[in-house]
Amino acid sequence: MREISKIFVVMGVLIANTVHAQAAELYGLIGKMTTVPGQRDAFIGLLLQGVNDMPGCLSYVVAKDANDPNAIWVTEVWDSKASHDASLSLPAVKEAISKGRPMIAGMSDGATTIPIGGVGLAKSEAETK
Q: Which residues contact a copy of itself by CB under 8 A?
A: 26, 28, 30, 32, 44, 48, 51-52, 54, 57-67, 73, 75, 77, 111-122
C-alpha torsion 86→87→92→96, nearest 10: -120
Nearer to a copy of itself, 4 or 116 (CB): 116
**Minimal distance in Å, beta carbon 23 to a copy of itself?**
13
**Minimal distance in Å, beta carbon 36 to a copy of itself?**
18
**Minimal distance in Å, beta carbon 59 to a copy of itself?**
3
CA-to-CA distance for 128 and 58, rounded, in angstroms? 12
Q: Residue 32: how many CA atoms within 13 Å on its side-chain side? A: 10
**Minimal distance in Å, beta carbon 10 to a copy of itself?**
33
Nearer to a copy of itself, 37 or 117 (CB): 117
C-alpha torsion 47→49→50→56, nearest 10: 30
Please list the residues that pair with 71 across neighbouring strands: 34
Q: How many C-beta neighbours within 10 Å does residue 87 have?
A: 21
Are the C-beta atoms of 26 and 79 separated by less than 8 Å?
yes
Nearer to a copy of itself, 104 or 121 (CB): 121
Nearer to a copy of itself, 23 or 119 (CB): 119
